[in-house]
Amino acid sequence: MASSFSSSSSSSTTMLIVSILASSLMAAVFGGNFNQDFDVTWGDGRAKILNNGELLTLSLDKTSGSGFQSKNEYLFGKFDIQLKLVSGNSAGTVTAYYLSSQGSNHDEIDFEFLGNLSGDPYIVHTNVYSQGKGSREQQFYLWFDPTKDFHTYSFLWNPSHIVFYVDNIPIREFKNTESIGVPFPNKQPMRIYSSLWNADDWATRGGLIKTNWTQAPFVTSFRNFKDDACIWSSSSSSGSSSCTSSNSSSSSSSFSTNNTWFNQEFDSTSQRRLRWVQKNYMIYNYCADLKRFSEGLPPECTMKNSTKT
């Protein structure tokens, strides 16, 4: 796990931390209305949209968890939402926030927040599925307590890469490596989903720590959803996107001028922040698991500049 901010001795590291903290403080506070953007899909009343659509809460008790999904489907986009995770003894619980298509060959981009005993850090579990294949996990601790306040968790999904952000700080990049035969999520539209559920058979210390139901109901809160994205329409036989891209059949004059995320690559600052997070807070990387992949690492892991922390 990472050393604390105060333990940093080099001036370059100190400057980077100051820059990261400034970025965190500048994390966007934006609108969005859960009544307009999402449907509650399960939970028998455990999911609640409050404050005229400004707040959504999911709850979990021994009988059931709860969940919601976006009204829209998307093919590429930048998605932000603010979460305050289950506080106290959250062992056994998982809050999932992800994009997914349907079917056995589905694509999926995951944030999963694995609860833990009081005082122990949450684990942020990330994964990317393409054409039904996952097993691309990276896990992180956070540099703050995610139960004390809302923090922004984001996906950037464009034709060249997928980036996971926490408070505008990149923690993971999954590049498009179709050139070496690795499928990339770029053909199947996906919805946004979120759920709070019991996974005490694996979530906390491999299932050793079980959910303490005397702490129920467990609650995760959401606010300030923002999508700057290509909305998918299935009104035609083949479907179409609101954006101009190689995978869409319709165009939007505003897209080419306003949606800079579509061609966004990493600049030097983003690369530096990514390296800082992965050096200090990454606790598992499938690209470094030689025991698991004893017959050879997945091909995307062997590309130049792939992370092997």
- Residues catalogued as catalytic: 108, 112
Structure tokens at 13: 């590291």
How far apart CA 86 and CA 189 sit, in angstroms, is 30
Report the DSSP beta bridge partners of residue 40. Answer: 68
Largest CA distance in the chain: 60
Amino acid at 172: R
Q: Are 128 and 111 in contact (CB under 8 A)?
A: no
How far apart CA 122 and CA 93 sit, in angstroms, is 10
Q: Residue 47: name the closest of 187, 219, 203, 213 by CA.
A: 219
Sign of CA dihedral 246, 251, 257, 261: negative
Query: How long a stretch of residues is the chain?
Result: 309
Q: Coil, strand, or helix at residue 14?
A: helix
Q: Please enumerate in sequence order all residues whose Cβ is within 8 A of that of 266, keeping only pairs 6 or more positions apart, or say none.
A: 163, 170, 173, 274
Of 149, 88, 83, the closest CA to residue 119 belongs to 88
Long-range CB contact pairs, 261-264, < 8 A, 24+: 261/77, 261/78, 261/156, 261/158, 261/228, 262/76, 262/158, 262/159, 262/230, 263/158, 263/160, 264/156, 264/158
Closest CA to 124 of 149, 101, 105, 151: 151
